[in-house]
Amino acid sequence: MGSTAESLGDFLFIPFKGGTVPGAVVHAHAVSQLLRSALEGDSPLRFLGDPLEWAWTLLWSLPGALLALKARALGLFATGALALTAAQTTVAYGLFTAGWWIPLIPPVLAATGTAGLVKAYLYYDESNQKATLMGLFARHVSPDVAQSIWSHRDEFMNEGRPRPRKLTVTVMFTDFRNFTGISEALEPESLLDWLNECLQCMAQQVIDHQGVVNKYIGDSLMAVFGAPVARKDLEEVKEDAVKAVRCALAMSGEVERLNGMWKEKGLPPVSMRVGIATGEVVAGSIGSSRRLEYTVLGDTVNVASRLESFDKSFEAHNPCRILIGEETLRHLGADFETRPVGTVNLKGKSRPLKIFQILRERSQEEQAENHRFFLEKG
């Protein structure tokens, strides 16, 4: 029994429609529940207690962290977060119907908050990795190669830097002939402008042919085809060798174009030597955390360098002399016209090496005819 007069102000807020009820009604409901418990055996809602509620709340942070780790795509992450919230609601409702009152909002906040924090950390870590990778490669590769490097980063990245690994690649070295004569004819500022123009044209050809400009050494350039993403089969290794030779031939065309421009300016013409070798290398990064450089090391690199500098008196009639090793020739097939230079002992090599000169790429009709010839010969 109790008063319901509004003037007395004996009203309490309740979480149901209407908002407030007289205090006597609330007390009556409490007494009714106690009576049902005593007379009819109805048990009241049970609670976990503060320590278990804290444990229950923290437990839900684990699936939140796993969700952020596994669901990389934003759409998948949002779908997973909704599914996780639905699962928490279902568990809470199921336990409520069984007579247990457990917290719902704190576990939801713990799961979504943990997922958000882990996602933010992964985004920050990815940004650092991308900055490192793009710092090593972005300026020296085509956009397609840069995207491939980023897509395959888990294969060769370790603790924020490329891990050492063995790769089968095609290495190219280029060097300008008559650079000394040019340098004597130009002032230092003009010489650097001239050299930058040359190297920019050659580097662009490497990028256009999906290679990596590895480094500049004075008026020389080193490029790699087939790194840093490992080649999966022999066909891809062959494609790298073909791209390297096509790149060298395109460089020859660039040298002819540049010579025409320099002739008009009264500058002497130049020619270029190119050495190309295919084989295994060790690829990785060298340097400190502040300055990293991606590079490849091994006998293949040495062979390409020796081919470029081989017998500097031996020059081709065209502006670009392209020499390759026997391993590269095997990957080219009959798509290019070559001529043997001979079997020589390169500097630093104990065994003789067969050297070939690239003359031109055969036309599609010639290639098809050669392929038919080899098929007929079985």
* DSSP per-residue letters across 129-182: HHHHHHHHHGGGS-HHHHHHHHHTHHHHEETTEEPPEEEEEEEEEEEEETHHHH
CA atoms within 13 A on the CB side of 325: 26
Per-residue pLDDT of the chain (378 residues; tens, 9 = 90+): 888 787 877 888 887 766 788 888 888 888 888 888 778 777 777 888 888 889 988 888 888 888 888 887 778 888 888 888 899 899 888 988 888 888 888 889 998 889 888 888 887 777 776 666 666 565 556 556 566 666 666 666 666 566 778 899 999 999 988 777 777 777 888 888 888 888 889 999 998 998 988 888 888 999 999 988 888 899 999 999 999 999 999 999 999 998 888 888 777 778 899 999 999 999 877 766 666 677 889 999 999 999 998 876 666 556 889 999 999 999 998 889 999 988 888 776 778 889 999 999 988 787 777 666 555 655
Question: Looking up tokens 């392929």, which residue turns up?
Answer: 371
Q: Return the CATH fold of 158-377.
A: Alpha-Beta Plaits (3.30.70)
Other beta carbons less than 10 A from residue 339's beta carbon: 8
Distance CA 82, CA 121 (A): 21
Distance CA 258, CA 253 (A): 9
In a 3-state reduction of DSSP, which class is residue 247? helix
Burial, 262: exposed, middle or buried (Cβ in 10 Å; 0-12, 13-18, 19+)? middle
CA 248-254-259 angle, 5° bins: 130
Distance CA 215, CA 175 (A): 12
Structural domain spans, the chain: 1-44, 48-140, 158-377
Q: Kindly provide the b/e burial profile for residues 289-322, where b requires at least 16 CB atoms within 10 angstroms of the residue's own CB.
A: eeebebbbebebbbbbbbbbebeeeeebebbbbb
Distance CA 83, CA 89 (A): 10
The alpha carbon of residue 157 and the mean position of all alpha carbons in its chain are separated, in whole angstroms, by 9
